Structures are given as structure tokens and as C-alpha cells.
Amino acid sequence: MSETAPAPEPAAAADAPPLRAVVLAGGLTFEREVSLSSGTQVVEGLTRAGIDAELRDADAELLPGLAAAPADAVFIALHGATGEDGALRAVLDLAGVPYVGSAAAACRLAWDKPAAKSVVRSAGITTPDWVALPHSTFRELGAGAVLDLMVARLGLPLMVKPASGGSALGVQKVSRVEDLPAAMVSCFAYGDTVMVERYVEGVEVALAVVDLGDGPQALPAVEIEPESGVFDYSSRYTPGLTEYHAPARLDEDVARRAAELAVRVHEVLGLADLSRTDAIITPDGEVHFLEVNVSPGLTETSMFPMAVEAAGFELGEVLARLLANRAGRSR
């Protein structure tokens, strides 16, 4: 299996009717603004590639609109639960509407970070040790006692993050035990279950995977260098707070193993079309899986487009190829 994706095939003949795509963006999650930015970039890219693309929100008008004016395929640029937990995709399946991306069941698994880590670890992939517990456990058993056990098991520093969600919302690095309760309270604002993970020192990379019809292939890794040292929401979406290197500054062997890990994660979790795996590479070159995104960001500061560009491809052509495959049309 190669680690580099092949170039998209040439566009369809000029006299072929253009594909019609509906790009879903927005939603009612914490990540609405990021999603709208992603959706706008997708529409612009697809339009440049000759696709008739329309931006729509996932609201009560969506299903009647798709029934009245069917799309050849839907591209889901929704982030957060709406676009990533599988529910919307299950509804599109019921409506018989083809869409780019992973099926509902695979999305449900990937959305649940502890469950995905368990499956990945069972497949022999390295991932930092973790504990995931709901808010009720701390309330019923006493937060202090439970937190003490977490620190004794995992040590310090720790990464505290919601058990589901994206865009690094609620993610915090905790280096002092006295800061842990406040980090937990902050994290619970984004979900009922918190995952506390052992902090791994190293270089964070984003590993994009695409399947243009010949099986999943990894794009060049993107190295993430946040000014603050932690790739949180602000570092992720505020231009200038993070420096990116695409391709990542990795030894050839490490880059190969990182690419293999991303493809393996994509396969083990049953994902389709595109994904982005986040990983940490330690100073000795070991690659640690952190999480996977089934609807990766496609904004101007997102890593997936950087990886596509680093591979020498045009984002719009890659997305158009994925859309055409789902619509059953060649490009």
C-alpha cells in the first residue's frame, strides 16, 4: 500500500452535464462558525472544479429541499455532533441521498473518542493512556477522590478534553493538580463525559487520508507548532498563533510510519472517503494516535487543505472527485 495519494483524474468532458452538489454547513453546535467557513471554502473549490454547488444549512428545510431539487450527492461540511456523530448521515441514508464521507455507524464510533481509542489500541496502534468518566461519577463518588485516582494512574501533565467534539473546544493541558478541578468544570460545558489523557511530549501532526477510488492513501503530514505550546481552539482558528509546516519536518522513516498509522486508523474504524488523524510524534520517533475526524476542517487555516496542497493537488478537484464517486459519475 502506498502512502501518497494519486493525483485526481482529469475533469469530465466539457459537454457532460455538471454535477449538482449540496454542501451542508452551519448547524447549531459550538462549531457553527467554523463549519460555515469550511462550507464556503468547499463551495468555492467545487465551483472552480465545474460542480454546481449550493451551500445549505441542516435545518427543517433541508429534506423538503432535497426532495424538490435532488442533488447528485451531498458534501457534509458540518462540524460537531450534527456532522460527525452519524445521526444526519443516517437520515440521509433513509432519504436515499448519497453523500461524501463515512457511514453513520463508523461516524458514531469515531465521534466517541474513548471508544475509538479502544478499537485503535486493540488493533495494536499506540495511543496515550486515558480515563473517561461522566459528570455523574464525580458527583456521586466525590470529585476529589476520583481526581486523585486519575492523577495517581496517569501522572502529570494531563490533557483534559470532552469525550466527543471537535475543534479542540474545551481541551486544556493541566500541569498542576490544583488546576485539574477547574479544567474539568470547563470541559463539562461541552459534554457530559470528560476524557483525561496522559500528556505525551512531542510534535503534533495532522495526517489526512483520502480515498479517490483506489483505497485510502495518506497525504503529507502537517506539523503543528502552536505559539502557546497547546493546540487549543484559539491556536487552531486565530491566524498567526500557530505555525504549520506542510510537509512536516520528519525523517523519512517517521513520515512513512505516521502515514501508515493514519491509513490503518481509517481502515480499522471503517471510515470512507476522507479523514484526518491527529497524532503526537515523540522525540524517539514513536507515533501516538490521539483522535480522528470524519469531517475535517476545510477553512483557510485548516490542516486538510494544507495536506492536499503539499501533495501538489487542487482541493476543489479532490473534493469533486470524491463527490463524483459518490454520485456514480466518473471524472
Among candidate residues 56, 236, 276, 321, the one labeled active-site is 276
Residue 45: C-alpha distances to residues 39, 244, 281 (Å): 10, 22, 32
Is 9 among the residues known to form the active site? no
Contact 30/245 with Cβ under 8 angstroms? no
Among candidate residues 293, 295, 302, 325, the one labeled active-site is 293
Is 165 among the residues known to form the active site? no
Cis peptide bond prior to 247, omega within 30° of 0: yes
- For residue 91, the tally of other CB atoms under 10 A from its CB is 14
Q: If phi over 0 gives left and psi between -120 and 50 gives alpha, with beta otherwise, what is residue 167? A: left
Place of cell 492536499: 308
Nearest alpha carbon to residue 294 among 84, 124, 152: 84
- Determine the number of helices (DSSP H) and then strands (DSSP E) in the chain: 13, 14
Contact 216/236 with Cβ under 8 angstroms? no
Strand partners, 195: 132, 161
Is 15 among the residues known to form the active site? no
Among candidate residues 72, 232, 291, 317, the one labeled active-site is 291
Is 237 among the residues known to form the active site? yes
Q: Computed from CA positions of residues 21, 27, 29, 35, in that sequence, does the dihedral angle turn out positive or negative? A: positive
Pairing of strands 193-198, 130-134: antiparallel
Among candidate residues 3, 31, 57, 72, the one labeled active-site is 31
Is 167 among the residues known to form the active site? yes
Among candidate residues 167, 275, 302, 325, the one labeled active-site is 167
Among candidate residues 3, 297, 317, 325, the one labeled active-site is 297
Strand partners, 276: 208, 293
Q: Could you give phi then psi for residue 27, rounded to 5 degrees?
A: 75, -175
Is 31 among the residues known to form the active site? yes
Is 276 among the residues known to form the active site? yes
3-state secondary structure of 22: strand
Among candidate residues 237, 275, 321, 326, the one labeled active-site is 237
> What are the residue numbers of the active site?
31, 167, 237, 276, 278, 291, 293, 297
